[in-house]
Amino acid sequence: MFNLTYEFKLKPTTGQTEIFEDWLEQCRRVYNYALAERKDWFGSRSCQINACSIRSEFIIKAETQRPTYASQCKSLTTARANIPALAAVAVHVLQ
């Protein structure tokens, strides 16, 4: 039995390299923002309100819903409409 595999090496031009690096930067920013949003929400719910330190915990309103994948994708769509740098990157890459 033969197992044929193909290996390709990309050799992007300088312009393509700049585009890829910009995409990576935008993906990093979106990921870090979404992670911070989830961490802030969980951090605001992890201790009693009378025991939280105002310096170390950000208190989020009680009626704020837990950030889910669907809600963050919806807010990403809104952000892409308002921020041109995000609109330049494909939405599937950002999700």
State which residues form the domain around 51. 17-94
- pLDDT score recorded for residue 23: 93
Domains identified in the chain, total number:
1
Q: Is residue 1 part of a domain?
A: no
Q: Give the residue carrying structure tokens 């009693």.
A: 48
Low-confidence ranges of the chain (pLDDT < 50): none
CA distances from 56 to 43, 44, 49, 51, 92 (A): 9, 10, 13, 11, 34
Phi, psi of 39 (to 5 degrees): -65, -40
DSSP category for residue 62: T
Q: How far apart are CA 17 and CA 15, in angstroms?
A: 5
- pLDDT score recorded for residue 45: 72
Q: Which helix (H) or strand (E) holds 28?
A: helix 14-45
- pLDDT score recorded for residue 41: 82
- pLDDT score recorded for residue 22: 94
Q: Is residue 3 part of a domain?
A: no
- pLDDT score recorded for residue 60: 72
